[in-house]
Amino acid sequence: MKAVILAAGEGKRLRPFTYSEPKVMIPVANRSIMDYVVRSLVCNKITEIVMVVGYRKERIMSYFGDGDGFGAEITYVNQDKQLGNGHAVLAASEHIDGDFMILPGDSLIDARSVADLQSIGAGHGALVIESDMPAKYGVAILERNRISDILDRRGEGASNIVLAGAYKLPASFFDTLEICVEGGDYNLSHALKLYVQDIKIEPVFCQGLWIDAVYPWDLIEVNHAALANTPVQTAGTIETGVLIHGKVSIGKGTTIRAGTTLYGPIAIGLGCDIGPNVSIFSSTSIGDNVTIDPFSVIRNSVIMSDCSIGSHSMLSQSVLGYGVKVRSHLMASSADAFVNLEEEFYRVPNIGTLVGEDCSMGSGVSIEPGTIIGPKSRIMSGSKVSRNVPTGAIHS
């Protein structure tokens, strides 16, 4: 069986972390989200993969290549205009004959969920989940063991069973899809809605892991889940007097200096320089080429590659994009907060700060919980930031 992974979209809602990278390439536990999807497929012996790419496709293609490094054979299909996920699936049709799977490239999905979907044998199915989250792929109405209808959003009295975006379908689905797309409806779930009227699609309740990063703060949870399954590999130089508890992986060329304490699960990438006397707590991912200076404390955060964090900084429940530079004494603690995302307010429990790539901060910056700081912005020394900072802005 072949699998189609949808990876063409930008993931606008995940800004500021999709400024220069597609959503599927955002790192959690130091691997891109789609990396987990591909590995889950390969675990289930599904090695022929068609990736529909578009936004910043070069990033994806450089990462996965022809799939050899993953034990897969990857074919790329270019979706020039990201019209919708139905349009994207249709673009892959020429590479598909027989039953196939569709998976979103931007959700963390484990091998178990793929196995469950695969195990319905000759039948066809859709992965569903009970969730109060917004229904990105539609709400499923069930009738005995089949999906009888699909709604766009949860109406009155409707179920809380939503589609997870993963399907096992026969090739005949393309006929329905083509009619929809030619009619100008590019939404995959609309085509499915028509399709389930005639063909039996079973609901497959997700028993494994399935987490969709819809909002930027979801990355903290996705990272936590991913770290739980990250194998431990230790390389680099670990000086005497470093304390390591739990699962900690440390990459080649990294130096962990004396007096540093690491409470796993933690993943640290290549060529980092951490310490002396730094404390890092679970569940934290640190990318490649990151420096963390003495007396800093990091908790449950994602720090992407090329960041540098000056001494005496405190970072909790936060995400730093690529290349964020912090001089020293950054205060980014966490609390329950209202987060302003594109002028809509969301109540988020225990959230720190979300910093876009290449932001640079002076010394002694203090950031209110739940603040989003745009890419390439500059925060002057001694600033107190209590409101979102736009892309490229200077905050003093």
Pairing of strands 31-32, 27-28: antiparallel
Output 241 or 271, the one with its CB closest to another protein. 271
191: its two tokens: 């085509």
Q: Does 380 bind another protein (CB under 8 A)?
A: no
What is the C-alpha separation between 162 and 148, in angstroms, rounded?
13
134: its two tokens: 């917004």
Residue 116 near residue 45 (C-beta atoms within 8 A):
no
Q: Is the dihedral of CA 89, 92, 94, 95 positive or negative?
A: negative
Cβ at position 391, least distance to another protein in Å: 12
Could you say which residues in the range 254-283 bind another protein, by CB under 8 A? 255, 270-271, 273
The stretch among 66-74, 102-110, 119-127, 204-212 that binds another protein (CB under 8 A) is: 66-74
Residue in 291, 340, 350, 363 binding another protein, rule: CB under 8 A: 291
Residue 231 class from Cβ within 10 Å (0-12 exposed, 13-18 middle, 19+ buried)?
A: exposed
Q: Does 60 bind another protein (CB under 8 A)?
A: yes
Could you say which residues in the range 350-369 bind another protein, by CB under 8 A? 358
Q: Does 76 bind another protein (CB under 8 A)?
A: yes
Q: Does 68 bind another protein (CB under 8 A)?
A: yes
Among residues 58, 18, 3, which one has the least CA distance to residue 372?
Answer: 18
133: its two tokens: 């989250």
Q: Does 216 bind another protein (CB under 8 A)?
A: no
Length of the chain, please?
A: 396
Residue 243 near residue 277 (C-beta atoms within 8 A):
no
* Chain-centre distance for alpha carbon 280: 22
Q: Does 69 bind another protein (CB under 8 A)?
A: yes
Output 265 or 287, the one with its CB closest to another protein. 287
Residue 104 near residue 212 (C-beta atoms within 8 A):
yes
Q: Does 306 bind another protein (CB under 8 A)?
A: yes
Number of residues near another protein (by CB under 8 A): 31
Among residues 367, 299, 301, 298, which one has the least CA distance to residue 331?
Answer: 367
Output 255 or 340, the one with its CB closest to another protein. 255
Residue in 40, 113, 249, 289 binding another protein, rule: CB under 8 A: 289
Cβ at position 58, least distance to another protein in Å: 4
Q: Does 80 bind another protein (CB under 8 A)?
A: no
Residue in 185, 276, 325, 340 binding another protein, rule: CB under 8 A: 325
Can you tell me which residue has the tokens 């199915």? 125
Q: What residues make contact with another protein under the rule CB under 8 A?
A: 20, 53, 57-58, 60-62, 64-66, 68-69, 76, 78, 252-253, 255, 270-271, 273, 288-289, 291, 305-306, 308, 322-323, 325, 358, 376
